[in-house]
Amino acid sequence: MSFLSSTRDIPEVRAVPRHVAMIMDGNGRWAKKRFLPRVAGHKRGVETVRTMVKACVERGIEYLTLFAFSSENWRRPADEVSFLMRLFVAALQAEVEKLHQNGVRLRVIGDLSRFDARTLELVRTGEALTAGNTRLTLTIAANYGGRWDILQAANALARQHPEKAGHWTEQDLAEHLSMAYAPEPDLFIRTGGEQRVSNFLLWQLAYAELYFTDCLWPEFDGAALDQAIVSYQSRERRFGRTSEQLTPSPRAGTDGNV
Ligand code: IPE
Ligand code: IPE
Ligand code: MG
């Protein structure tokens, strides 16, 4: 199943965002503040992931997408990269069964070709085990880049529909993106104080509401999520229309003098 694009169709706006996408940033600074090695921040960050999954389920959020490792994060020191890879494997081993018991569907997006066979196997078995769950879809973006995603979608289209080259539509491309199974994010949250997208879901964030907080990821919690949701609820999502079109005057269409 694929969802319509927000630049072509106006999505239904709900009080609680249906899809929240988060850049989990600030682990290193959290550790540094405590005179700990950076990796201690990543370890602590996994606890926030657990907290967020629970918090999203409790709030009726249907899709939670977390940026765990970007295509640019390979530029970090080798020991930090290998720690993050081991942490990913350990988290999959420790959490998949619990996610399943809690009705969470797990998906992993990104260029998985750089992961070793054991990690790939864990990802595939975790996805298969939880495929039928409907309470929350948790997507982990690992070795993910928004540009990579658009490019792989274009390449897939070129392979599958060469005869349509030159006539591909926005919808054709969207159906080949790695999150074609989810509606576009309603709310984007970045912790850690930076106000940038860092090559996250470039295509899908076209009409997301953006929320930035100085809170470091290991300190982000349910109350902080609620603040983001309150901010989201105060936004007027116009999708290109005017304010007046969203709240038509009660007299519109009934008064010939208007
Ligand atoms: C985010 O925290 C985690 C990853 C990118 C894997 P950082 O490691 O970027 O933390 P800061 O930004 O250095 O504080
Ligand atoms: C973005 O955080 C990527 C993830 C959280 C996985 P970074 O800390 O890598 O982003 P930049 O480098 O500051 O933009
Ligand atoms: Mg960072």
* Cβ atoms of residues 170 and 8 within 8 Å: yes
pLDDT per residue over 191-219, tens digit each?
A: 999 999 999 999 999 999 999 999 999 99
Tens digits of residue pLDDT in 127-180: 999 999 999 999 999 999 999 999 999 999 999 999 999 999 999 999 999 999
Q: Which CATH class is domain 19-193?
A: alpha beta
Closest approach atom of ligand 1 to CA 32: 14
Which residue in the block uniquely carries the two structure tokens 């600030």?
26
pLDDT bin (cut points 50, 70, 90) of residue 255 is very low
Mean pLDDT of the chain: 94
Annotated catalytic residues are 25, 73
Domain ranges of the chain: 19-193
User: Of all protein residues, whose CA lies closest to atom 14 belonging to ligand 2?
Assistant: 198
Tell me whether residue 257 is exposed, middle or buried, using C-beta atoms within 10 angstroms of its C-beta: 0 to 12, 13 to 18, 19 or more.
exposed
Residue among 206, 189, 178 nearest 64 (CA) = 189
Which pLDDT does position 133 carry in this prediction? 98
Distance CA 158, CA 164 (A): 8
Quote the ligand 3 centre to 88 CA distance (angstroms).
Answer: 17
